[in-house]
Amino acid sequence: MTGPTMADILALPADNEVRKALLNAGIGSEYDIFCERVEDAILEGIVHLERMKPQFGGLGEDALTGILSYGLQMKGFSADHDNYRNGHCDLVVKDGRFEWYGEAKLDKGPKYSLEGFRQLCDRYAPAGPTSCRGGLIVYTAKRNKLRILDVWIKRIQKDYEVPTSFTTICNGTLTSRSTHSHPATGLDFKVRHFPISFYHRPTDKSAKARKSS
pLDDT tens track for 33-63: 899 999 999 999 999 999 999 999 999 999 9
Within a domain: residue 18?
no
Residue predicted with more confidence, 136 or 5:
136
Within a domain: residue 115?
yes
Is 80 exceeded by the pLDDT of residue 148?
A: yes
Residues 90, 97: contact at Cβ < 8 Å?
no
Which helix or strand (DSSP H or E) is residue 85 part of?
A: none
Within a domain: residue 11?
no
- Looking at residue 80, its pLDDT comes to 79
Which helix or strand (DSSP H or E) is residue 39 part of?
A: helix 30-51
Within a domain: residue 10?
no
**CA-closest candidate to residue 53, choices 171, 174, 201:** 201
Structural domain range at position 207: 29-212
- Looking at residue 5, its pLDDT comes to 67
What average pLDDT does the chain have?
88
* pTM to 2 decimal places: 0.83
H helix runs in 93-139, sequence order: 110-118
- Looking at residue 203, its pLDDT comes to 79
Within a domain: residue 15?
no
Residue predicted with more confidence, 2 or 112:
112
How many domains in the chain? 1
Within a domain: residue 33?
yes
Q: Is 116 helix (H, G, I), strand (E, B) or coil?
A: helix
Q: What are the two backbone dihedrals, phi and then psi, of residue 189, each rounded to the nearest 5 degrees?
A: -105, 125
Within a domain: residue 161?
yes
Is 70 exceeded by the pLDDT of residue 10?
A: no
Is 60 exceeded by the pLDDT of residue 206?
A: yes
Q: Could you list the beta-strand ranges (E) of the chain.
A: 78-84, 88-95, 98-106, 133-140, 165-166, 176-181, 188-197
| Best mean pLDDT range from 18-27, 72-81, 151-160, 204-213 | 151-160
Within a domain: residue 6?
no
DSSP label of 168: P
Is 80 exceeded by the pLDDT of residue 108?
A: yes
pLDDT, average across residues 184-192: 96
